[in-house]
């Protein structure tokens, strides 16, 4: 189990452990782990290993316990009874659990699943299966059962690390989570980066909040973000911050600024298209303003006393915020600065040249359509 301590995460532990067992002569055709997690969207993480390949993670959403995928199946059985379960699959009789039929259809002949300690005292499971005629021998079953305890000790540690990383990523973002886990936790620790930036803001949020109950407002915001966030992530961007009824997303431009700007523009267009589709079938009309800019930002630990926040600051973020406010002035859902759009192929129209409040330089702006005069008020 020595190498298991060096495994980067639970997936690497499963891969290494399964490959080691195979190398010792156990005829494994499949191995899995099942662990509960803490995440806003997912309740369980299942990892599946096959010989010659890295394990595949399957994330199960909240509420899975009430579905046939979990309820009345082998994982639930061993978690509740806390006892191993073995079943030979090479017969043709009735099967006690639905998943066994799927495994038999895959050509597997024998199956063993055991309860496993996961993170924070929760119970998970691990399973092994073979396709060898005749299944596992009794010695092989005894070997697997003897290894459950040391494997469980390592898995509990790795699952806790994974869970911590997952919950941090959900609340502060992927890159900030990596920085925090790497030790960037002191107040004043910041990272400087160049990025293509995207800022969104919901129009009429005050009116929405006034006429709807808080739970309906939250549901509406979640529907809106469900349309925007996948578009950002599909282009390699990261939501750095939710800001009430809007969000700030960044696309790392340190290596290839033009590629980052193209990705941000595609994400903005895709998000607006998704919102338009959502609006067609929903009573709530999502009028969203999107601003695009490129520049330098600093983000890291800022706060007072023992309470800090992983947040972003910078001159170019202030430019971005000023530009976003002009979406309403120009009656356009999208505005990009000249700095952002420079050299990119695009279908945006020139909106005019404006002075942004607090900044000496003037910016040429581009958007979908223009209804305001060139001399529109400064943002």
Question: pLDDT tens across 186-210, in order?
Answer: 888 888 999 999 999 998 787 778 8
Band (13; pLDDT cuts 50, 70, 90): very high
Band (140; pLDDT cuts 50, 70, 90): very high
Q: What is the mean pLDDT of the chain?
A: 88
Task: Tell me the pLDDT tens digit for each residue of 15-71.
Answer: 999 999 999 999 999 999 999 888 888 888 999 999 999 999 988 888 887 887 787
Report percent pLDDT > 90 for the chain.
Answer: 59
> Model-level pTM?
0.78
What would the mean pLDDT of 78-87 be, rounded to a whole number? Answer: 95
Q: How far apart are CA 73 and CA 87, in angstroms?
A: 13
Max CA distance (Å), the chain? 84
Contact 124, 118 (CB under 8 A): yes
Sheet holding 85-88, edge to edge: 56-61, 42-49, 30-36, 123-130, 110-117, 85-88
In this prediction, residue 285 carries a pLDDT of 63
Q: Is the pLDDT of residue 377 over 50?
A: no
Q: Is the pLDDT of residue 366 over 50?
A: yes
In this prediction, residue 88 carries a pLDDT of 96
* CA 373 to chain centroid: 42
**Beta strands at 56-61 and 288-304: parallel, antiparallel or unpaired:** unpaired
Q: Is the pLDDT of residue 143 over 50?
A: yes
Q: How far is CA 75 from CA 41, 98, 159, 170, 311, in A?
A: 20, 11, 17, 26, 40
What would the mean pLDDT of 287-302 be, rounded to a whole number? Answer: 93
- Per-domain residue ranges of the chain: 2-172, 183-367
Q: Is the pLDDT of residue 1 over 90?
A: no
Contact 237, 267 (CB under 8 A): yes
Band (289; pLDDT cuts 50, 70, 90): very high
CATH hierarchy code of domain 183-367 = 3.30.70.1230
In this prediction, residue 121 carries a pLDDT of 72
In this prediction, residue 182 carries a pLDDT of 83
SS (H, E, C) the chain: CHHHHCCCCHHHHHHHHHHHHHHCCCCCCEEEEEEECCCCCEEEEEEEECCCCCCEEEEEECCHHHCCCCCCCHHHHHHHHCCCEEEECCCCCCCCCHHHHHHHHCCCCEEEEEEEECHHHCEEEEEEEECCCCCCCHHHHHHHHHHHHHHHHHHHHHHHHHHHHHHHHHHHCHHHHHHHHCCCCCCCCEEEEEEEEEEEEECCHHHHHHHCCHHHHHHHHHHHHHHHHHHHHHCCCEEEEEECCEEEEEEECCCCHHHHHHHHHHHHHHHHHHHHHHHHCCCCCCCEEEEEEEEEEEEEEEEECCEEEEEEECHHHHHHHHHHHHHHHCCCCEEEEHHHHCCCCCCCEEEEEEECCCCCCEEEEEECCCCCCCCCCCC
Strand partners, 191: 299
In this prediction, residue 375 carries a pLDDT of 43
51-60, 175-184, 252-261: least confident range: 175-184
Q: Is the pLDDT of residue 138 over 60?
A: yes
In this prediction, residue 39 carries a pLDDT of 86
Q: Is the pLDDT of residue 371 over 50?
A: no
Q: Is the pLDDT of residue 78 over 50?
A: yes
Q: How far apart are CA 375 and CA 217, in angstroms?
A: 36
In this prediction, residue 108 carries a pLDDT of 97
Report percent pLDDT > 70 for the chain.
Answer: 94
More confident residue, 269 or 94: 269
Q: How far apart are CA 245 and CA 286, in angstroms?
A: 11
Strand partners, 246: 201, 243
Instruction: Give the range with max mean pLDDT: 128-132, 303-307, 327-331, 355-359.
Output: 128-132
More confident residue, 247 or 312: 247
Identify the CATH class of 2-172.
alpha beta
Q: How far apart are CA 274 and CA 333, in angstroms?
A: 13
Q: What separation, in Å, do the N-terminal and C-terminal C-alpha atoms of the chain show?
A: 62
What would the mean pLDDT of 319-336 be, rounded to a whole number? Answer: 94
* CA 126 to chain centroid: 24
């Amino acid at each position: 189990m020595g190498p298991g301590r060096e495994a980067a995460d639970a997936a690497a532990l499963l891969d290494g452990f399964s490959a080691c067992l195979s190398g010792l002569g156990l005829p494994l055709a499949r191995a899995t782990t099942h662990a509960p997690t803490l995440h806003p969207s997912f309740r369980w993480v299942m990892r599946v290993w096959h010989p010659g390949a890295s394990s595949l993670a399957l994330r199960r959403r909240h509420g899975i316990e009430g579905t046939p995928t979990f309820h009345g199946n082998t994982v639930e059985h061993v978690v509740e009874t806390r006892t191993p379960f073995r079943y030979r699959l090479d017969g043709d009789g009735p099967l006690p659990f639905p998943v066994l039929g799927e495994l038999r259809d895959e050509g597997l002949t024998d199956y063993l699943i055991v309860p496993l300690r996961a993170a924070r005292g929760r119970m998970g499971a691990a399973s092994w299966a073979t396709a060898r005629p005749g299944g596992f021998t009794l010695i092989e079953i005894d070997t697997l059962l003897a290894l459950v305890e040391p494997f469980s000790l390592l898995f509990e540690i790795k699952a806790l690390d994974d869970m911590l990383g997952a919950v941090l990523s959900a609340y502060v973002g992927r890159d900030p989570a990596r920085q925090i886990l790497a030790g960037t936790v002191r107040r004043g620790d910041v990272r400087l980066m160049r990025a293509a930036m995207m800022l969104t803001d919901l129009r009429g949020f005050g009116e929405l909040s006034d006429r709807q109950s808080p739970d309906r407002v939250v549901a509406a915001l979640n529907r809106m973000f469900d349309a925007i966030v996948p578009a950002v992530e599909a282009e390699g961007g990261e939501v750095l911050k939710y800001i009430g009824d809007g969000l700030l997303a960044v696309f790392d431009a340190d290596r290839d600024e033009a590629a980052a700007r193209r990705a941000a523009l595609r994400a903005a267009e895709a998000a607006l298209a998704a919102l338009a589709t959502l609006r067609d079938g929903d009573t709530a009309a999502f009028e969203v303003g999107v601003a695009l800019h490129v520049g330098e930002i600093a983000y890291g630990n800022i706060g007072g006393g023992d309470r800090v926040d992983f947040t972003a600051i910078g001159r170019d973020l202030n430019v971005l915020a000023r530009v976003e406010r002009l979406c309403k002035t120009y009656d356009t859902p999208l505005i990009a600065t000249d700095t952002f759009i420079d050299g990119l192929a695009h279908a945006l129209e020139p909106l005019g040249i404006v002075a942004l409040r607090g900044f000496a330089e003037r910016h040429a702006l581009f958007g979908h359509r223009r209804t305001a005069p060139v001399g529109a008020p400064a943002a």
